Amino acid sequence: MKILITGAAGFIGSHTAEYFAKLGHTVYGLDNFSSYYDISLKKMNAQDIVNQGVTLIEADLLDDLSTLLPKDIDYIFHFAAQPGISATTSLDEYVRNNIFATQHLLNWAINDAKNVKLFVNIATSSIYGKEATLPETALPEPISYYGTSKLAAEQLVLGEQRVGKIKACSLRLYSVYGPRERPEKLYTKLIKAIFEDTSFPLFKGSEKHSRSFTYVGDIVKGVAAVVGREDLVDGEIINIGSNIEYTTQDGINLVEEIIGKKALIEVTPPRPGDQLRTTALIDKAQELLNYMPTTSFKEGLQAQVAWYKEKFIK
């Protein structure tokens, strides 16, 4: 089986590429090594997946894909995106990297890679808005450029599915954490600050925010479960995440316990567009994909701390 994974040097994309490669599939990973965060970290992820046999292609999704990618792809997992809720990222960047890039990839999949069994769009709980505690049938009310552009990308994919051009589904992921988490994300930033004895910036009020924090390994299993279920998931939107909520403060307390040291908290102004609460309603994923996360919050954070120590503590 031949699998294409976009954003393969990123956090979740690299884990997914590695997962399929270990199963013996032929995996192609595409990444443009954006400077959104330190490229050396992506190079580190890239080396890990290349070591597992993934063929890595350094390119942008708006490049001429017909000259870069093999045409006999069976599955496409589209992780590549302009990520995060950032005040320094322009609307133009979200539109280019989440909307235009998705349509360009779709055009290639439909016109060049004509034997694709399933196009899997990777979406986000940010599509729901302030309270991501809803079923897939709920009206989306995104409150950030990120959530809005990811909703647009999702509808581009499902629009092509509705007119019969390609089989596709969209998976909305919830608060993923674990090894290789991006450096601006909560737990990597917290772990780094504790080990380096530097202050940890915490958005005012965010310690009370609750999240369906989901370990990356459980997310990957949910994503991979669509393989072989093309007819079941075609045209569907499916939540993938943990159905257990924890507050940000709960997570901070656990990391402090695991490392054995307190964080130096620095309260900063609230972040516009941040979600107040997320709870993954995963009934649909359980029914269609037999999905159920099994990694406890503490186990996942222990794995993330161990990864950080291995990679960054000399």
Q: Would you call 19 a catalytic residue per the annotation?
A: no
Rg (CA), the chain: 19
Q: φ, ψ for residue 173 (rounded to 5)?
A: -90, 150
In the set 94, 146, 187, 308, the catalytic residue is: 146
Give a three-class secondary structure readout of 245-286: CEEHHHHHHHHHHHHCCCCEEEEECCCCCCCCEECCCCHHHH
Helix, strand and coil in the chain, % to nearest 5: 40, 20, 40
Residue 207 has, within 13 A of its CA and on its CB side, a CA count of 14
CB atoms near residue 182 (< 10 Å): 19
For the chain, strand residue ranges (E) read: 2-6, 26-31, 55-58, 75-78, 118-124, 131-132, 168-173, 176-177, 199-203, 210-211, 214-215, 237-240, 246-247, 264-268, 277-278
Question: Both tokens of residue 236?
Answer: 């569907």
Residue 177: name the closest of 260, 268, 264, 242 by CA: 242
CA–CA distance, 169 with 230 (Å, rounded to integer): 9
Instruction: State CA 225 to chain mean position distance.
Output: 16
Positions marked active-site: 146
